[in-house]
Each structure stands twice: as structure tokens, then as C-alpha cells.
């Protein structure tokens, strides 16, 4: 078996599809199948079970996938660290972000980092879910992920950088716009714009409401916080969102942001596979974001 065989096999297990991996690699489905068949000949066991809509790993396949993913990640890490030994100020820093992360949390940090590390290539990749970020960290395709900090995840270290208070976003002419603050219970009968379904931030908000015995109702769903703010500004609805950096509270212009101090703040920050295994440039970028956020809070 070859390292390419193992890389392709891990990708197939995670995608659940031979054709999807073939498209990603720019090859034929037959070529992907050959990698898997070579592994099955070498191990003497079936590694994938064909389903009507894709494939799933067998019990033996899951064992090999776990070991291969860990080994590939370790090898990739070792290669990056060897390169960094040559020049700690060059190389790549690969960061997973949400749609609005760089603008709200990293803009000044990116400028500062580029000045101090001009030879380092920063790569930002938009990942649609925390699970996707964790998988990419685990297999070594990403160095850092900016996430909503949630429950522990095996093999991943999470570190809170900032806690965001919750606010109610409404149009300036809304009856609630002039309130200095609101009790969450006052919103029990108000229909709201829902945060991205199944996201960690939505789960955190639901948990914070449950602690107070409050349940919100929703009639619209959005993919990110900025869209919720835009719809609130247009008067399409009201939204409970985290007060991300750069937003004035209670708000100016057509948008008003009314604090909800009763809700437990939303923790956001970094996720990595292992802090002590980060390359020097990746660690420097993570630290720069933390420092700039701390400076902005003062």
C-alpha cells in the first residue's frame, strides 16, 4: 500500500462517495476504486460497503481509516515542522473561518501579521460547519480554525479568545428600538430570525434561553450573523445575535442593537489539533489575533 492509497481511502470514508472524491482529485472514479482495491488486497479484508447512495467503511475500514488519518496527519505535521526549521518566518498558515470571521475578528491582526511575517502565506478557507473544521484540523489540511467554542471534541483543543454579549437587532423605527436593554423573557412572544440551524451558536443561544426558562419563536432562518443583521435593518424581522466587534451598541443609523444582558455570552476562539505542535508562523498568527482582540477590548 502507498501513502496515496491511504489518503484516498480516508477521503472516501469521510465523503461517503467515490465519485465525489474523484471530482475533488480531478481523476476518474475507477482510479479512486483502484486505490481502495489495492488496500483491500494488501489487508485481505473488505474495507468499504457499497450502499444505494454511496459507500460506508466496514468495521475493518473504520479501523484502518482511524489509523491512516492519524498517521497522515502526523506525517504532514512533521514535514511542515521540518520546513519551518529552515525558516521560521516562511511557509503557510491555513485558517478555517466562517463567512464573516476575518472582517469582524481578524482584520487588524492580518495587517499586523503581514508586516511582521511578509514571507508567510495566509490561506483562509470558508468552512460551513464546526464539524468540517474539526475534520480538517484532524487530518492536517488546516492549522487553525476560528469557531464558536462548544463541548469538548476528541483530538481537538479549543481556546476561548472573546465572549460576545447577545443583542436584539431591530430597525430604528421598531417599538423596541429605544429600550436601553431587554430581559430575554420579554421576547417570548416575539417572532425572530433564526441563527444558522444546527450551528454551535444557535445551540448555545438555545441553552442560554433554557437556563432562564425562556423559549424563542422563529419564522425566518439565515446562514450567517451578517445576513440576520441586514434583514433586521431592512425591517424584515428581529434577530438575537452576538455583538461582534465593530458593531456599536445600542446602534446608529437604521439599525438598533438592544443589549440582552440576561443571556450567557457566546464564547468564540481558536481550535487546533495540538497547540504544542503548531508551526511557528501558525502560532504567531493565533497569538496576534488574541493580542489584537485584547487591545481592542481595552
What domains sit in the chain, N to C, each tagged with a CATH number? Answer: 3-71 (1.10.10.10), 89-162+267-297 (3.40.190.10), 166-264 (3.40.190.10)
Single out the residue of 219, 265, 214 nearest to residue 241, CA to CA: 265
The pLDDT confidence band at residue 286, using thresholds 50, 70 and 90, is very high
pLDDT (mean) for 200-228: 87
Res 61: pLDDT: 93
Residues 238-258 have a mean pLDDT of 78
CB 13 within 8 A of CB 65: yes
Q: 172 near 254, Cβ under 8 Å? A: yes
Query: Which residue has 489540511 as its cell numbers?
Result: 141
* pLDDT greater than 80 at residue 84: no
Arithmetic mean of pLDDT over the chain:
87
Which pLDDT score is estimated for 297?
60
More confident residue, 129 or 37: 37
User: For cell 420579554, what's the residue?
Assistant: 186
- Mean pLDDT value of segment 279-287: 90
Q: Are strands 191-194 and 217-221 parallel, antiparallel or unpaired?
A: parallel
**Long-range CB pairs of 61-70, under 8 A, 24+ apart, other chains included:** 61/9, 61/13, 62/13, 64/6, 64/9, 64/39, 65/9, 65/10, 65/13, 68/6, 68/7, 68/9, 68/10, 69/10, 69/138, 69/139
Q: Is 162 a residue whose pLDDT tops 80?
A: yes
Lowest model confidence (mean pLDDT) among 43-52, 104-113, 249-258:
249-258
Distance of CA 188 to the CA centre of its chain: 30
Judge whether residue 161 has pLDDT over 90: yes
**Residue 135 pLDDT exceeds 90:** no
Q: Which residue has the higher pLDDT, 53 or 196?
A: 53
Residue 88 is predicted with a pLDDT of 54
Strands 266-272 and 144-148: antiparallel
- As a whole-number percent, the residues of the chain with pLDDT over 70 amount to 92
> Could you check whether the bond before residue 250 is cis, i.e. omega within 30 degrees of 0?
yes
Say whether pLDDT at 153 is over 70.
yes
With beta carbons less than 8 A apart as the criterion, state whether 69 and 139 touch: yes
pTM: 0.67
**Mean pLDDT of the region 184-200:** 85
Contact 231, 193 (CB under 8 A): yes
What pLDDT sits at residue 270? 96
Per-residue model confidence (pLDDT) at position 78: 77
Task: Please give the average per-residue pLDDT across 243-272, as a whole number.
Answer: 83
Query: How far is the C-alpha of 24 from the C-alpha of 289, rounded, in Å?
Result: 32
Distances (CA, A) of 208 to 62, 85, 194: 36, 45, 15
| 138 — pLDDT class (breaks 50, 70, 90) | confident
> Quick one: pLDDT at residue 77?
77
Return the DSSP state at 165: P
B/e letters for 257-284, b = 16+ CB within 10 Å, e = fewer, are bbbbebbebbbbbbbbbeeebbbbbbbb
Distance CA 153, CA 147 (A): 12
pLDDT of 81 reads: 66
Determine the pLDDT at residue 298: 57
Would you say residue 40 has pLDDT above 80? Answer: yes
Radius of gyration of the chain (CA): 23
Predicted pLDDT of residue 85: 52
> Mean pLDDT throughout 110-121?
89
Per the model's pLDDT, the better-predicted residue between 271 and 195 turns out to be 271
Q: Which three cell numbers stand for residue 207?
A: 441553552
Q: How far apart are CA 37 and CA 1, in angstroms?
A: 10
Amino acid at each position: 500500500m502507498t501513502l496515496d492509497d491511504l489518503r484516498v481511502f480516508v477521503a472516501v470514508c469521510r465523503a461517503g462517495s467515490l465519485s465525489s472524491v474523484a471530482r475533488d482529485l480531478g481523476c476518474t472514479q475507477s482510479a479512486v476504486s483502484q486505490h481502495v482495491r489495492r488496500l483491500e488486497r494488501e489487508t485481505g479484508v473488505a474495507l468499504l460497503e457499497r450502499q444505494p447512495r454511496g459507500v460506508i467503511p466496514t468495521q475493518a475500514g473504520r479501523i484502518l481509516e482511524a489509523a491512516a488519518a492519524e498517521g497522515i496527519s502526523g506525517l504532514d505535521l512533521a514535514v511542515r515542522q521540518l520546513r519551518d526549521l529552515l525558516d521560521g518566518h516562511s511557509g503557510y498558515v491555513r485558517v478555517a473561518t466562517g463567512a464573516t470571521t476575518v472582517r469582524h475578528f481578524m482584520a487588524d491582526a492580518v495587517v499586523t501579521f503581514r508586516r511582521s511575517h511578509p514571507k508567510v502565506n495566509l490561506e483562509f478557507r470558508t468552512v460551513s460547519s464546526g464539524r468540517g473544521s474539526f475534520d480538517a484540523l484532524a487530518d492536517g489540511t488546516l492549522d487553525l480554525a476560528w469557531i464558536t467554542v462548544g463541548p469538548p471534541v476528541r483530538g481537538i483543543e479549543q481556546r476561548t479568545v472573546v465572549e460576545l454579549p447577545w443583542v436584539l437587532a431591530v430597525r430604528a423605527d421598531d417599538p423596541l428600538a429605544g429600550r436601553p436593554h431587554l430581559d430575554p423573557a420579554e421576547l417570548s412572544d416575539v417572532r425572530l430570525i433564526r441563527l444558522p440551524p444546527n450551528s454551535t451558536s444557535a445551540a448555545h443561544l438555545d441553552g442560554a434561553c433554557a437556563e432562564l426558562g425562556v423559549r424563542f419563536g422563529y419564522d425566518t432562518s439565515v446562514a450567517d450573523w451578517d445576513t440576520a443583521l441586514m434583514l433586521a435593518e431592512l425591517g424584515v424581522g428581529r434577530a438575537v445575535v452576538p455583538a461582534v466587534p465593530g458593531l456599536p451598541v445600542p446602534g446608529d443609523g437604521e439599525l438598533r442593537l438592544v443589549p440582552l444582558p440576561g443571556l450567557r455570552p457566546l464564547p468564540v476562539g481558536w481550535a487546533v489539533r495540538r497547540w504544542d505542535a503548531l508551526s511557528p508562523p501558525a502560532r504567531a498568527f493565533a497569538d496576534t489575533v488574541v493580542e489584537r482582540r485584547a487591545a481592542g477590548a481595552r
